[in-house]
Amino acid sequence: MSRLVVVSNRVADPRKAAAGGLAVALGDALSASGGLWFGSSGNVVESAAGGTAGEGKVHTQRTGHVTLVTVDLSREDHDAYYRGYSNGVLWPVFHYRLDLADFDAGYIEGYRRVNRMFAHKLMPLLKPDDVIWVHDYHLIPLAAELRAMGCRQRIGFYLHIPLPPPLILAAIPAHEWLMRALFAYDLVGLQSKADLQHLSRYLRDEAGAELMSPGTFGAFSRVLKAGAFPIGIDVDDLVALTQGKEAQDTLTTMREQFARRQLLVGVDRLDYSKGLPQRIRAFRALLDRYPENRNSATLIQVAAPSREEVDAYSDIREELERLCGAVNGNYGDLDWMPIRYIHRTVARKRVPGLFRASRVGLVTPLRDGMNLVAKEFIAAQDADDPGVLVLSRFAGAAEQLTDALLVNPYDTQATADAIQTALHMPLQERQLRHQRLLAEVRAHDVHWWRESYLRSLMEAHT
């Protein structure tokens, strides 16, 4: 069995309870093969304390059968590679937000520099038959750097965020370089069929690649395979969490507090891709258009703090706070507030209890690679009396979760109408939709995702 080497921007200890489903799923595969997980440490070293651009101290730690190797970043590298290029250029552009991109020429240099540095640190740790799996937009050029140093092992890449249409990608200065770098991989995995179509069109129209067979492209004297591998959740883990004490306590408290009300829930990182202001406007339209929901429908919106050092994030936070305040001010009463807005991270063990207490789950991103919250909401429901998922058609998850109420989050009135339908959906229809949705979430869980990706990678090596 080949050893699995996972590379991602951040590394998690798969054995810690706080680690999410992805860390656990990758942890299983890493553990089974005595694997290595490589990434940045999250430590940022100021230049006064010796932080030098393109250099970083390496830390090695053993956890069970897995070795975690992490690298510190200098302030300059962190600002250019992480804050600047990854989150100031690639994140907005890949989410179709050219208006929010900051194409500062210095960032791309830092992005290259850190990818090269990671390749230099990783290369001596590799064994000849390792299988390397690189994750996400921070590390697109990593394989090209490794290949330049003579690395011949299988290398796969998985993009967790969407891939936009060719003309949006083409707005990135040096997009040719970025996309050409994909050809150093043996397999590129994407979340959805829509993303795969975009890649295919880009490679044909912008890179002059030859379509050799569906999902196989020839260019730059290399062959690249690409496929859609929609990521899933660990359903059994989520169900166990739902039955756990913390989730059950949360469920009981919520049921007591909102006994005469209908609860709606949203749980997101506070990110402009998640469509939070649009969601609040749709909820306001619901109260406006369907007054029977006043004094009853209550939205709990958790917006977990995220990337607060990037400007666009403080803007979205202010907008959201203003909107929530206005709705509560206009519609709230002495004994009822329409929105409970929480700008904090809620403990992972409690979240499923919140999902289960809610009649409606609102997952309405403007664009999302997949969106795991949609799948977690389904897995946390009581099959006998399930809540209804209102899901944006622009989440990758919408390709699979067609039994949710699919909405266009830009259409405030139509989203309000869908929420109204969800709040008043008869039990039988809720049960039927939930049954189908859960079957889909189970059939394509995180273990299926990992195994089908790695199987394709083993077949793809050329």
Site for ligand GDG, rule CB under 6 A: 20, 160-161, 231, 267, 269, 302, 304, 345-348, 351, 368-373, 376
Conformational region of residue 50, where left means phi above 0, alpha means psi within -120 to 50, and beta covers everything else = left
In the complex, the smallest distance separating the C-beta of residue 151 from ligand GDG, rounded to whole angstroms, is 25
User: How far is Cα 460 from Cα 445, in angstroms, rounded to an integer?
Assistant: 22
Where helices occur in 357-407 by DSSP H, the ranges are 372-379
Selected catalytic residue, list 78, 95, 135, 160: 160
Active site residue 368: yes
Phi-psi region of 273 (alpha: psi -120 to 50; beta: other; left: phi over 0): alpha
Minimal distance, residue 345 CB to ligand GDG, in Å? 4
Smallest distance, ligand GDG to C-beta of residue 270, A: 9
Q: Kindly state the smallest distance separating residue 153's Cβ from ligand GDG, in Å.
A: 24
Comparing CB distances to ligand GDG, the nearer of 358 and 420 is 358
**What's the token pair of residue 205?**
């129209």
333 is catalytic: no
- Of the candidates 368, 403, 417, 445, the residue annotated as catalytic is 368
Closer CB to ligand GDG, 37 or 331, in the complex: 37
Choose between 71 and 231: whose C-beta lies nearer to ligand GDG: 231
Cβ proximity to ligand GDG: between 161 and 327 the closer is 161
DSSP state letters, 8-52: EEE---TTSTT--HHHHHHHHHHHHTT-EEEEEEEEEE-GGGT--
Pair type for strands 262-269 and 66-74: unpaired
Rounded to a whole number of angstroms, the minimum distance from the CB of residue 258 to ligand GDG is 19
Of residues 293 and 371, the one with the C-beta less far from ligand GDG: 371
Smallest distance, Å, CB 375 to ligand GDG?
A: 8
Alpha carbons 102 and 88: distance in angstroms, whole number? 6
Contacts 24+ apart (CB under 8 A), 410-417: 410/278, 410/366, 412/278, 412/281, 412/282, 412/285, 413/285, 413/289, 415/278, 415/279, 415/282, 415/285, 415/364, 415/390, 416/282, 416/283, 416/285, 416/286, 416/288, 416/289, 416/290, 417/289
Q: Which is nearer to ligand GDG, 261 or 348 (CB)?
A: 348
Give the residue numbers annotated as catalytic, written as ranges: 160, 368
